Amino acid sequence: MEVTDELVLHVARLSRLAISESETRELKSHFQKVLAFISAFQELDTASVDPSIFSVDASNVFRDDEPCPSLPRADALASAPASDGVYFVVPRIVGGDAGSAAPQSGVDKGEAAGRAELESGDDDELGGA
Amino acid sequence: MRGVVETRDAVRGKKLKAVESIRDAIRQIREVDGALHAASDVFEADALREAEDLDRRIARGEEPGPLAGVPFTVKDNICTRVGKTTAGSKILASYRAPYDATVVARLRAGGAICVAKTNMDEFGMGSSTENSAIIGPTKNPWKTTHVPGGSSGGAAALAAASRGMIHLGSDTGGSIRQPASYCGVTGLKPSYGRVSRYGLLAFASSLDQIGMLQADARECAAALEVLAGKDAKDSTSGAVPVPRYLEELERGVRGLRVGVAKEYFPEGIEPEVAERVRQGIDTLRSLGVEVREVSLPHTRYANPTYVLISGAEASSNLARYDGVHYGYRTDASRGLIDLYAKSRVEGFGPEVKRRIMVGTFVLSAGYYDAFYNKACKVRKLIRNDFEKAFREVDAIVCPTSPVVAFPIGEKIDDPLKLYAVDVLTVPANLATVPGISLPCGFTREKLPIGLQIYGRPFEDATILRLAHGFQGATKHHLDAPPVRARSS
């Protein structure tokens, strides 16, 4: 298959990597080498083989529903690049100019310091089974 | 010089104070580290404080644990409360883990004391320890112009240049066994699930395994006895009884059946490597081991399969480094997505970015079936090969690496050349089987050669017995490299 700049940039966007022009060139050439490296196994007929995705047979391992201590909030926030002591602080993601710079502390907790789980709408799609 | 077992016995028998053991370990590290660049951090004050505390408990008559006073080092992708946990990456350059990994907690509960973190290729992605963004390349104690192998190169170099410590490493495609081979030490990658991965920064979760790099198989057994077992915090750890590995060693090797596969002596293998490994197989035969020919026909597909599966899993696992929860954050970003993309591109090194990109590609819409799913099918064929072979034999013996330690810089500009070095180690991770590398001789240049033994899943004891038997009949593991700490 042909590796194009568009493919590399598409994958970089999915990977959340803001790669430079020189990195795009380098990665394009790397993709080509990797495709050559793995070409050997394209010849293998695997139509009747079940894929082996996991390394253990266990599935849905549950623990007993017993309360136990979890990581204290202060410890969880200790290594964060920006926090207000309660939340991780990220750039504004709802209700405002999404292009504005990141607040460095929770000036307006309700809006500026969104929870980190929230993510702006994005239509990227990862493939999958 | 005292090994791990002797140190433990001396501290437990009150013939040696834990403080003396720790002081000696730190002296050894400091003595060789200028030349080797193997330790990313040394914890003198913390370790001595713990040792003093242990000595007081021993004086009061308390049970000090099965590894009392034994110093240990931790590869820098395994979480420790003490010091930083950087995984060799700029993105985690200042990260302090809020908890100890299960392996660290188990060693500490057993009376062992953490003295240092060791250098590695960023996130375990490399086979030479040249990809460390934190302290730069580690040197091989046998020849300091050469790589120690990787990614557990710091652990391997220290294991060769010092005595009496446990060195924890991790192995996703050979990262314990290949550096053990290049540095002339004994490295065990236990069966997948034998040792908890809780607290190991994930690279490829279906392949990653924690193990150790030691002077000999006996030290590996002593450490594994404490490290192995089910952990509620790692649902992939196996609830399989943990044998007394040290006692298992004494069962001998007579009557064990060992397979030799022609696929493990591939084209391009250095003639001296093949020759020494074949001599090693003769040594095993002379000890009463039955040697049979076996075939693992899909071996040549293992490396491409590994590149795709490990890349795919890495792209998913490394999504957590987002500049929000911990680690590096870019100074200049416009909006959240830009913050992610800039923090990641600035924080990750070139090889890590390559692997994330390849992994994302093979999982992406339109390419999943042709690449990732295909690789998982080939993994199944590779596992079938091992299952079939292990119906005939108890273990498989082969070289650890087709080459020996190479000069620093020789392969770093060609990632594919470096991937090729892993060809004989990746099958163990794909098949979840345990593997051990042990010294079996040297090249004319006096660079160590490693012999590798594979066993059935959860039969780690069998390969430890074979390695111990081999080391009882040979002296390669006793040879000391030019860079080596003085005896105490």
CB contact at 8 A, B133 and B167: no
- Alpha carbons B92 and B85: distance in angstroms, whole number: 7
Which is higher by pLDDT, B90 or B417? B90
Q: Find the helix or strand (DSSP H, E) in which B167 lies.
A: strand B166-171
Say if residue A2's pLDDT is above 60: yes
pTM of this prediction exceeds 0.90: yes
Domain contains A12: yes
B468 touches B217 (CB < 8 A) = yes
**pLDDT tens digits for A102-116?**
444 433 333 333 444
* Cβ neighbours for A60, distance < 8 A, ≥ 6 positions apart: none
Q: Give the domain extent around A109.
A: 87-118
Instruction: Give me the helix-helix angle, B374-392 and B302-317, nearest 10°.
Output: 120
pLDDT of residue A114: 42
A50 falls within a domain: no
Residue B63, amino acid? E
Model confidence over B318-344: pLDDT tens digits?
A: 999 999 999 999 998 899 999 999 999
Question: Which residues between 212 and 271 in chain B have a beta carbon less than 8 angstroms from any beta carbon of chain A?
Answer: 232, 235-236, 238
Task: Say whether B368 and A129 touch across the interface (CB within 8 A).
Answer: yes
- Chain B residues lying within 8 Å of A23, measured CB to CB: 345, 353
Using the Cβ of B482 and the Cβ atoms of chain A, whether some distance falls under 8 Å is answered with: no
List, for residues B240-262, the tens digit of each pLDDT value: 999 999 999 999 999 999 999 99
Query: What mean pLDDT do residues B290-316 have?
Result: 97
Range from A107-121, B161-175, B178-192, B284-298 carrying the lowest mean pLDDT: A107-121
> Which residues of chain A does B357 touch, with a Cβ-Cβ cutoff of 8 Å?
8, 11-12, 15, 17, 27, 30-31
Q: Do B361 and A11 touch (CB under 8 A)?
A: yes
Q: Report the domain count for chain A.
A: 2
Distance separating alpha carbons of residues B165 and B150, to the nearest angstrom: 19
Contact B333 A90 (CB under 8 A): no
Q: Which CATH number fits domain B4-296+384-478: 3.40.640.10, 3.30.420.40, 3.90.1300.10, 3.40.50.11540?
A: 3.90.1300.10
Q: Which of A11, A42, A56 sits opposite B236 (nearest CB)?
A: A56
Q: Which amino acid is at B142?
A: W
Q: What is the CATH number of the domain that holds A17?
A: 1.10.20
Name the helix (H) or strand (E) containing B256: none
Which residue of A2, A3, A4, A11 to mutate against B (max B Cβ within 10 Å)? A11
Contact check, Cβ <8 Å, B337/A16: yes
Residue A65 lies in a domain: no
Domain extents in chain B: 4-296+384-478
Model confidence at B105: pLDDT above 50? yes
- The tokens for B320 are 């957590």
Residue A106 placed within a domain: yes
Q: In whole angstroms, how far apart are CA B112 and each of B16, B71, B161, B278? A: 14, 6, 20, 38
